[in-house]
Amino acid sequence: MKSIILALSVFFFTLGSVVSAQTTAVPPKKEVQKAIYTCPMHPKEISDKKGKCSKCGMDLVIKATVQKQGTDVKSTPAVTAPKSKYVCTMDGATSDKPGKCPKCGMAMTERKTEKK
Protein backbone atom coordinates (compact mmCIF):
# COMPACT_ATOMS: atom_id res chain seq x y z
CA MET A 1 0.00 0.00 0.00
CA LYS A 2 2.82 2.38 0.89
CA SER A 3 4.59 1.56 -2.37
CA ILE A 4 1.45 2.43 -4.40
CA ILE A 5 1.09 5.80 -2.65
CA LEU A 6 4.78 6.48 -3.15
CA ALA A 7 4.59 5.51 -6.84
CA LEU A 8 1.49 7.68 -7.42
CA SER A 9 3.06 10.69 -5.73
CA VAL A 10 6.22 10.34 -7.86
CA PHE A 11 4.03 9.97 -10.97
CA PHE A 12 1.99 13.11 -10.23
CA PHE A 13 5.10 15.08 -9.29
CA THR A 14 6.81 14.24 -12.60
CA LEU A 15 3.59 14.90 -14.53
CA GLY A 16 3.31 18.33 -12.92
CA SER A 17 6.94 19.11 -13.72
CA VAL A 18 6.49 18.15 -17.38
CA VAL A 19 3.34 20.24 -17.77
CA SER A 20 4.85 23.30 -16.12
CA ALA A 21 7.98 23.01 -18.27
CA GLN A 22 5.88 23.15 -21.45
CA THR A 23 4.07 26.37 -20.61
CA THR A 24 5.82 29.56 -21.61
CA ALA A 25 5.90 32.63 -19.45
CA VAL A 26 4.16 35.67 -20.93
CA PRO A 27 6.32 38.79 -20.69
CA PRO A 28 4.72 41.67 -18.77
CA LYS A 29 3.04 44.34 -20.86
CA LYS A 30 4.69 47.74 -21.06
CA GLU A 31 2.68 50.78 -20.05
CA VAL A 32 3.21 53.97 -21.98
CA GLN A 33 1.76 57.28 -20.85
CA LYS A 34 0.74 59.82 -23.46
CA ALA A 35 -0.14 63.42 -22.61
CA ILE A 36 -2.97 65.35 -24.25
CA TYR A 37 -2.53 69.12 -24.56
CA THR A 38 -5.31 71.71 -24.80
CA CYS A 39 -5.71 75.50 -24.82
CA PRO A 40 -6.98 77.04 -21.55
CA MET A 41 -9.26 79.43 -23.49
CA HIS A 42 -10.34 76.99 -26.24
CA PRO A 43 -10.78 73.53 -24.65
CA LYS A 44 -11.80 72.00 -28.00
CA GLU A 45 -8.32 72.71 -29.41
CA ILE A 46 -6.55 69.40 -28.61
CA SER A 47 -3.09 68.20 -29.58
CA ASP A 48 -0.78 65.35 -28.65
CA LYS A 49 2.26 67.68 -28.81
CA LYS A 50 3.25 70.76 -26.86
CA GLY A 51 2.79 73.98 -28.82
CA LYS A 52 0.59 77.03 -29.37
CA CYS A 53 -3.20 77.32 -29.84
CA SER A 54 -4.15 77.86 -33.48
CA LYS A 55 -6.91 80.33 -32.52
CA CYS A 56 -5.30 82.59 -29.89
CA GLY A 57 -1.61 81.65 -29.79
CA MET A 58 -1.56 80.71 -26.09
CA ASP A 59 0.67 77.86 -24.90
CA LEU A 60 -1.11 74.50 -24.74
CA VAL A 61 -1.30 72.91 -21.28
CA ILE A 62 -1.60 69.25 -20.27
CA LYS A 63 -5.26 68.24 -20.10
CA ALA A 64 -4.96 64.56 -19.22
CA THR A 65 -2.53 61.69 -19.31
CA VAL A 66 -3.72 58.55 -21.08
CA GLN A 67 -2.19 55.19 -20.20
CA LYS A 68 -1.62 52.80 -23.05
CA GLN A 69 -0.93 49.12 -22.55
CA GLY A 70 0.68 46.89 -25.12
CA THR A 71 3.41 44.36 -25.63
CA ASP A 72 5.35 46.74 -27.83
CA VAL A 73 5.41 50.50 -28.16
CA LYS A 74 4.90 50.21 -31.93
CA SER A 75 1.80 48.00 -31.63
CA THR A 76 -1.73 49.36 -31.35
CA PRO A 77 -2.25 49.47 -27.58
CA ALA A 78 -5.49 49.65 -25.67
CA VAL A 79 -6.40 53.06 -24.25
CA THR A 80 -8.02 53.47 -20.88
CA ALA A 81 -10.00 56.62 -20.24
CA PRO A 82 -11.71 57.86 -17.10
CA LYS A 83 -15.42 57.12 -16.79
CA SER A 84 -16.43 60.71 -16.06
CA LYS A 85 -14.95 64.20 -16.28
CA TYR A 86 -16.00 67.34 -14.48
CA VAL A 87 -16.29 70.47 -16.62
CA CYS A 88 -16.81 74.13 -15.74
CA THR A 89 -19.76 75.54 -17.69
CA MET A 90 -18.29 79.04 -17.56
CA ASP A 91 -14.83 78.60 -19.09
CA GLY A 92 -14.54 74.92 -20.03
CA ALA A 93 -11.88 73.90 -17.47
CA THR A 94 -11.82 70.13 -16.88
CA SER A 95 -10.96 67.93 -13.90
CA ASP A 96 -11.10 64.27 -12.92
CA LYS A 97 -12.51 65.17 -9.49
CA PRO A 98 -15.65 67.07 -8.47
CA GLY A 99 -15.28 70.49 -6.87
CA LYS A 100 -14.97 74.12 -7.86
CA CYS A 101 -13.36 75.54 -10.97
CA PRO A 102 -9.81 76.77 -10.27
CA LYS A 103 -10.28 79.75 -12.63
CA CYS A 104 -13.72 81.16 -11.78
CA GLY A 105 -14.87 79.25 -8.65
CA MET A 106 -18.09 77.83 -10.15
CA ALA A 107 -19.17 74.26 -9.37
CA MET A 108 -17.91 71.68 -11.87
CA THR A 109 -20.59 69.62 -13.66
CA GLU A 110 -20.16 65.92 -14.42
CA ARG A 111 -19.84 64.73 -18.01
CA LYS A 112 -19.81 61.01 -18.77
CA THR A 113 -17.24 59.74 -21.26
CA GLU A 114 -17.13 56.40 -23.03
CA LYS A 115 -14.32 53.91 -22.57
CA LYS A 116 -12.20 53.52 -25.69
Mean pLDDT of 104-116: 73
Query: Does 37 share its domain with 72?
Result: yes
Query: Does 63 share its domain with 30?
Result: yes
Question: Does the structure show a pLDDT above 60 at 114?
Answer: no
Q: What is the CB neighbour count within 10 angstroms for residue 30?
A: 13
CB proximity list for 76: less than 8 A, separation 6 or greater: 70
Query: Does 70 share its domain with 85?
Result: no
Question: Which pLDDT does position 9 carry in this prediction?
Answer: 84
The residue among 36, 39, 58, 43 whose CA lies nearest residue 89 is: 43
Query: Does 31 share its domain with 70?
Result: yes
Q: What is the DSSP letter of 28?
A: P
Query: Does 38 share its domain with 73?
Result: yes
Question: Which pLDDT does position 104 carry in this prediction?
Answer: 85
Does residue 15 sit within a domain?
no
Does residue 115 sit within a domain?
yes
Query: Does 104 share its domain with 63?
Result: no
Query: Does 75 share its domain with 88?
Result: no
Contact 32/68 with Cβ under 8 angstroms?
yes
Question: Which pLDDT does position 82 carry in this prediction?
Answer: 47
Q: How would residue 8 be classed by pLDDT, with cut points 50, 70 and 90?
A: confident
pLDDT digits (tens, 9 = 90+) for 66-96: 555 554 555 555 555 546 788 888 888 888 8
Residue 107's beta-bridge partner residues? 100
Domain count, the chain: 2
Does residue 8 sit within a domain?
no
Which parts of 1-116 fold into alpha helices (H)?
2-22
Query: Does 71 share its domain with 29?
Result: yes
pLDDT digits (tens, 9 = 90+) for 15-62: 777 666 566 666 666 666 778 888 888 888 888 888 898 889 888 888
Domain that holds residue 115: 81-116
Does residue 55 sit within a domain?
yes
Question: Which pLDDT does position 75 carry in this prediction?
Answer: 53
Query: Does 91 share its domain with 49?
Result: no
In this predicted model, which residue has the larger pLDDT, 110 or 25?
Answer: 110
What's this model's pTM, rounded to 2 decimal places?
0.32
Question: Which pLDDT does position 95 carry in this prediction?
Answer: 83
Query: Does 37 share its domain with 66?
Result: yes
Does residue 17 sit within a domain?
no
